[in-house]
Structure 1
Amino acid sequence: MAAGAFDFREFLRTLVPLPGVYRMLDTAGKVLYVGKAKNLRRRVGSYFRAHHVSEKTNHLVAQIAGIEVTVTHTEAEALLLEHSLIKEFRPPYNILLRDDKSYPWIYLSAGTFPRLSLHRGARKAPGRYFGPYPSAGAVRDTLHLMQKVFKLRQCEDSFFANRSRPCLQFQIRRCSAPCTGEIDAKAYAADVADTVRFLEGRSNEVVDDLVARMERAAEVLRFEEAAVIRDRIAQIRRVQERQYISGERGDLDVVAVAAEGGAACVQVFFFRGGRSLGNKPFFPLIPADESPERVLAAFLVQYYLAHEPPAEILLSHAPRDTTLIAEALRARAGRRVDFVLRPRGDRARWLEMARRNAAHALAAELSSRTGMRRRFEALQEALGLDAVPERLECFDISHTGGEATVASCVVFDGEGPRKSDYRRYNIEGIVPGDDYAAMQQALTRRYTRLRDQDEVLPDILFIDGGKGQLAQAEGVMRELQISDVLLVGIAKGPDRKPGLEVLYLSGTGRATTLPPESAALHLVQQIRDEAHRFAITGHRQRRAKARRTSVLEEIEGIGAKRRSALLRQFGGLQQLARAGVEDIARVDGVGVELARRIYDALHGDG
């Protein structure tokens, strides 16, 4: 079998029967495929035996112009090198995990009054890191719980250092206000210690200590203190009911794969310290006709060599080289890592749940694989984000000469518009036409509610406007102490032509212009246009209603019932204005005197 100009027979004679890694190259020197082998001569030679080669392998072999090899001491060493080279070259015939650059952690800073916050990136600052979590949403949920139960500060250090009185978080009992001395260092340190134990999965120890403290306080008649501790115990119990999995107290991942139609989904459920941290789907790029077993093997290597593996991993399929992969992960973690293929009891049900989630996520992906997800991934790349955003929100303002101002908020996720989450805000109490004040009011109303009710925040908040409107959003978020939402202003470009929009990213001071063909720009345009449409629709409805009713509302003696009866009888304000006094007086509850006042008001004679 010929493979272009590549003389594979001569090449195979030079190969040694030792462990190593091979790289298949095309005529331009591009890496087509990276593989590992226990025996390089036997493994590479298998590609050129035509009687058992798949169609995918035929396509690969037909493009080979050269092969490079690296001999290693062991097969495990070859596996590690293979992972490194796949990550570097991203060959088209390998299974590629499109992994986020970094996962979010909970960070507890050092110092007398540590701060608890979401963290991405290098973990170099002094303090403790807990995680990683599958998503920023999972971190926010946990931080909200921490605020309610342990009341550690989550504000920026600069905000903390310059307070002269407690902020709103103290007033709503979500911070103990160490900034103004409302709690001393010793008591705060006790709360920090409880937080650490809780995040380590040792909440039963925390509860036991709190129960002892409550009983001691009650014994010496400090009943108010005992009541506070009692409430904290109740909150922790509620958290345990939400997060704990019966019979589990260790670290465990449940990994299931579904593959179909040239696509695959790997669904991972994360448990740490017996607590469920949520789940996350992964959609690796795969060549055609890859088996679930091969997809799973590639995922285990690429994901867990980049992220610390748990002690146990439940698997939906039995990949080849399980023992070898476990050995590599053991070297990575510095401890034993076990794969479980046929779990029983509750674990079997979790694995089945992961399988179903993988199948459902894959079906959704296949239905829109060239659509919204690709746009979200393009947006991640265009804005240089660490992770693919999961939720986007966009605000716009609409009015006519300052009349009936309405702000709109639209929400997109990986499946497109989430119309059930859309909101409109009627703007009141501002100077007519002041778009900055309108934006400030709308943002304050929305994000105060989202924060206070522990609802999900967006990863990116788009503002239809340039630097001025972006500054309003920055001020609102700073006041509300919301720091983990990226703010982006969308300004119209030269001549206000579509495709020339300029994006201003908060905190960077830089403007970004995306090429007209960019999928990321198309997503930005889509969410901006949807916000604009939703705002205009709301404004027109509000303006029409105001114009129907405002004149009648100013007439003494006409309440809501009479106003409704008049408009219903004549079919609207315009038709009512055409009526005479006698016609108006025939409406139930409207006499001649009132009819005259209505007629005069409608004709400017009042």
Structure 2
Amino acid sequence: MTEDVVPPAPESAQTDEVWQRLLTEVASLPGLPGVYRYFDAKGEVLYVGKARDLKKRVSSYFHKNHGGTRIGHMVSRIQRLETTVVRSEAEALLLENNLIKTLNPRFNILFRDDKSYPYLKIASHDFPRLAYYRGAVDKKHRYFGPYPNAWAVKETIQLLQRVFLLRTCEDSVYNHRTRPCLLYQIKRCSGPCVGFISEDDYRRDVNQAERFLLGEQEAVLGSLQEQMMAHAEKLEYEKAAEIRNQIGALSKVLHQQSVDTGIEKDVDILAVKVQGGRACVNLAMVRGGRHLGDRAHFPVHVQDHVALAEGEEEAVAVDSADAVEVSVLEAFLAQHYLDGGAPSLLVLSHPVAPALIDALGEQGGRKITVVHQPREQRRTWLEMAVQGADLALTRLLSEEGSQQSRTRALVEALDLALDPQKGEGDPMAALRIECFDISHTAGEATQASCVVYEGHKMQPGQYRRYNIDGITPGDDYAAMKQVLLRRYGGGRLERMPDLVLVDGGKGQISMAREVFEGLGLSLELLVGVEKGEGRKVGLEELVFADGRPKLQLAPTSAALMLVAHIRDEAHRFAITGMRAKRASVRTSGSKLEEIPGVGPKRRARLLQRFGGVRGVQGASIDELASVDGISRDLAEEIYRALH
């Protein structure tokens, strides 16, 4: 592979000079496969393209009159070009999309550089645990997936808990249990932490769960039936009954599975829809023989890319009405499967270039079969995916610029797991967020606020304030610990929120993590809102309790706007409550103000030291005398006046 990098034009160069230089460079290009890049005067990349014949393709931009079209606008901004010669069109495809993902060019179709898809992890252990996982895989554990969304993973974990009774608790919790937890009581765990199941029996259940995830459901049922009969023959009726219950739970799950996937184990189904200047690629996944649902992807720069593609002579020969859809679908395939991971079967709504599929297969080290006019079960899958793309795009267009779009942006940014059965067809309407903030004045009148966001709007009727007592004045960490324990530790909430926001950074989120771990709650719910550099609005960072790296959203991000709005509402509600409490405390503390020798400064020191009038009333004479400016005699006078 050879590289021919053209140096940038001098800043003083005139347009004609730049144009002549570009024409000279184009004339010297070879007629070989390769990739080309266009840059503007600022050095920012405008466009990345591939070609079977570099000279022929690039010449088409400079030897035609494009007028005032988008392609003409782009060509007028080109200051320099770079080309890379490769050995084949397949290499050109792969390099093109590597550069697109790296450079984010202005005129290419771009799909959001999404976080890795979630997996279900069976962690290595004498008694392995089920866990939701996202990130780089570790070979010492087993991973199943990927899944289209967090909800699909968690639904699968719950399924495996019901059938195979596998644990989900963290090792730190597991190692310190002395009695079985609630999950054992409701028959979602076999209680390995307290020795209620042997290591061999638990390992057998893990193996059965792994076979189920690999699509061997019928084999698992047969194996369970054999075990049940073996126990029955040995007169071990209790064990036989337990396995019978497992068989019943598994049979119920298989009966409820809405899509019978037939023979194929791993299949991706992709449908594309373009409307109103926006595009949607809906990806549905079949893993281990189970249809896991779908996820919609929305690219940007669709119209810019299409305008350029219309001027390219090597465009795929398809019906003009489908040209945009094909361009979008090819861009998604190349960018999504660039690093491998494509299953052996793809069911597509539109035909794509065979060279692209060959390149993806070469990259992933396997042969990929593509079907775009499927029959029978595959046709049903594709019809579902097409309908999902249509609905997702319609919803996106209707939500643009609305409150719903902010909710959607936050759900996508944090990949929140929502129950599709809730919200009357709109799961995001059921998204519940609770946000906490602490407010006080120099330790006086400390209050915590909890505000609620649900149904795409704030819910003032569900707001709550908490008076914070029994802590060192000004200790925000202790205040946060107290309010979280009172909010989630009493078991009185009808429903846990889908997301808990804490106003603060690492310190506050560490305290919140400690509370959630103690209560056995999921750390995935906890997110801290940390002020950015210079405490400027729009530079906030999100801190995750479960160990994920910090996330800084763009200042114009709809997701950040929603987070900031909820955080600011919690801050407002805390401040108004604190001020009301402070006014009440100071009014009720008129006795303190009437004590001779206790002026504004000494009164402020007392209130700050003891956290308010109640604290001063509960202090001993020695404690009062320890305050700066308070003598022993004055301390005795204060004590007598307040008692």
- The question of 1:394 aligning with 2:434 is answered yes
The 3 A distance-change label for structure 1 pair 410 and 377 is: closer
Displacement of 1:234: 1.5
Select the residue among 264, 281, 301 that pairs with 1:266.
Answer: 281
In the alignment, which residue of structure 1 is the partner of 2:485?
440
Amino acid at match of 2:58: V
More off after superposition, 343-352 vs 124-133: 343-352
Select the residue among 524, 538, 550 that pairs with 1:485.
Answer: 524
Are 1:258 and 1:355, in contact at CA under 8 Å, matched by a contact in 2? yes
- The question of 1:361 aligning with 2:376 is answered no
Are 1:153 and 1:176, in contact at CA under 8 Å, matched by a contact in 2? yes
Amino acid at match of 1:393: I
Displacement of 1:82: 0.8
The number of residues matched between the two structures is: 524
Select the residue among 350, 354, 358 that pairs with 1:317.
Answer: 350
The 3 A distance-change label for structure 1 pair 427 and 210 is: farther
Select the residue among 542, 554, 566 that pairs with 1:527.
Answer: 566
- The question of 1:348 aligning with 2:370 is answered no
What secondary structure sits across from 1:114 in the alignment? coil
Are 2:349 and 2:386, in contact at CA under 8 Å, matched by a contact in 1? yes
The 3 A distance-change label for structure 1 pair 534 and 417 is: farther
Amino acid at match of 1:253: D
Amino acid at match of 1:293: V
Are 1:161 and 1:179, in contact at CA under 8 Å, matched by a contact in 2? yes
Are 2:152 and 2:292, in contact at CA under 8 Å, matched by a contact in 1? yes
Select the residue among 242, 266, 275 that pairs with 1:228.
Answer: 242
The 3 A distance-change label for structure 1 pair 109 and 468 is: closer
Displacement of 1:442: 2.8
Displacement of 1:145: 1.1
CA deviation string 1:106-151 (max 9, x = no partner): 1112232112111111112512111111111111111111111112
Amino acid at match of 1:264: A
Are 2:262 and 2:377, in contact at CA under 8 Å, matched by a contact in 1? no
- The question of 1:178 aligning with 2:192 is answered yes
Are 1:314 and 1:339, in contact at CA under 8 Å, matched by a contact in 2? yes
Displacement of 1:473: 4.1
Are 2:481 and 2:515, in contact at CA under 8 Å, matched by a contact in 1? no
| Partner Cα separation in structure 1 for residue 414 and residue 538 of structure 2 | 25
Are 1:20 and 1:72, in contact at CA under 8 Å, matched by a contact in 2? yes
What secondary structure sits across from 1:32 in the alignment? strand
CA deviation string 1:213-252 (max 9, x = no partner): 1122223332222221111111112222333632523211
Are 2:116 and 2:135, in contact at CA under 8 Å, matched by a contact in 1? yes
The 3 A distance-change label for structure 1 pair 388 and 151 is: closer
Query: Residues 504-583 of structure 1: matches in 2 within 5 Å?
Result: 506=545, 521-528=560-567
Select the residue among 323, 326, 329 that pairs with 2:357.
Answer: 326
Amino acid at match of 1:325: L
Query: Residues 73-152 of structure 1: matches in 2 within 5 Å?
Result: 73-152=87-166
CA deviation string 1:417-465 (max 9, x = no partner): 4979x9678999x99xx986554233246798668xxxxx73x421367
In the alignment, which residue of structure 2 is the partner of 1:302?
335
Kindly report the root-mean-square deviation, in angstroms, between the aligned alpha carbons of the 2 structures.
4.5
What secondary structure sits across from 2:19 in the alignment? coil
**Structure 1 residues without counterparts, runs of 5 or longer:** 452-456, 538-606
Are 2:261 and 2:290, in contact at CA under 8 Å, matched by a contact in 1? no
| Partner Cα separation in structure 2 for residue 54 and residue 314 of structure 1 | 39
In the alignment, which residue of structure 1 is the partner of 2:38?
24
The 3 A distance-change label for structure 1 pair 257 and 512 is: closer
Amino acid at match of 1:363: T
The 3 A distance-change label for structure 1 pair 98 and 108 is: same
| Partner Cα separation in structure 2 for residue 366 and residue 417 of structure 1 | 20
In the alignment, which residue of structure 1 is the partner of 2:298?
283
- The question of 1:335 aligning with 2:362 is answered no
Amino acid at match of 1:354: A
- The question of 1:255 aligning with 2:255 is answered no
| Partner Cα separation in structure 2 for residue 484 and residue 163 of structure 1 | 19
In the alignment, which residue of structure 1 is the partner of 2:183?
169
| Partner Cα separation in structure 2 for residue 147 and residue 162 of structure 1 | 21
More off after superposition, 179-188 vs 462-471: 462-471
More off after superposition, 331-340 vs 82-91: 331-340
Query: TM (normalized to structure 2)?
Result: 0.70
Amino acid at match of 2:486: Q
Query: TM (normalized to structure 1)?
Result: 0.74
Displacement of 1:341: 1.1
What secondary structure sits across from 1:36 in the alignment? strand
The 3 A distance-change label for structure 1 pair 235 and 52 is: farther
Are 2:120 and 2:153, in contact at CA under 8 Å, matched by a contact in 1? yes
Are 1:3 and 1:62, in contact at CA under 8 Å, matched by a contact in 2? no
Amino acid at match of 1:343: P
| Partner Cα separation in structure 2 for residue 41 and residue 373 of structure 1 | 48
CA deviation string 1:547-591 (max 9, x = no partner): xxxxxxxxxxxxxxxxxxxxxxxxxxxxxxxxxxxxxxxxxxxxx
The 3 A distance-change label for structure 1 pair 61 and 242 is: farther
What secondary structure sits across from 1:67 in the alignment? strand
**Structure 2 residues without counterparts, runs of 5 or longer:** 1-14, 307-323, 419-430, 471-478, 577-643
The 3 A distance-change label for structure 1 pair 535 and 218 is: farther
What secondary structure sits across from 1:266 in the alignment? strand
The 3 A distance-change label for structure 1 pair 5 and 468 is: closer
The 3 A distance-change label for structure 1 pair 528 and 153 is: same
Are 2:34 and 2:86, in contact at CA under 8 Å, matched by a contact in 1? yes
Are 1:56 and 1:287, in contact at CA under 8 Å, matched by a contact in 2? no
| Partner Cα separation in structure 2 for residue 247 and residue 514 of structure 1 | 39
CA deviation string 1:507-535 (max 9, x = no partner): 67999999987755532232245668999
| Partner Cα separation in structure 2 for residue 196 and residue 170 of structure 1 | 21
CA deviation string 1:280-322 (max 9, x = no partner): 0101112426311101110011112235112221111223x2x
Amino acid at match of 1:362: L
What secondary structure sits across from 1:485 in the alignment? helix
Are 2:38 and 2:46, in contact at CA under 8 Å, matched by a contact in 1? yes
Displacement of 1:154: 1.4
Percent sequence identity over matched residues? 40
Displacement of 1:392: 6.1
What secondary structure sits across from 1:126 in the alignment? coil
| Partner Cα separation in structure 1 for residue 123 and residue 269 of structure 2 | 31
| Partner Cα separation in structure 2 for residue 20 and residue 240 of structure 1 | 50
In the alignment, which residue of structure 2 is the partner of 1:9?
23
CA deviation string 1:163-187 (max 9, x = no partner): 2322222222222222221111110
What secondary structure sits across from 2:273 in the alignment? strand
The 3 A distance-change label for structure 1 pair 53 and 136 is: farther
| Partner Cα separation in structure 1 for residue 530 and residue 84 of structure 2 | 52
Amino acid at match of 1:268: L
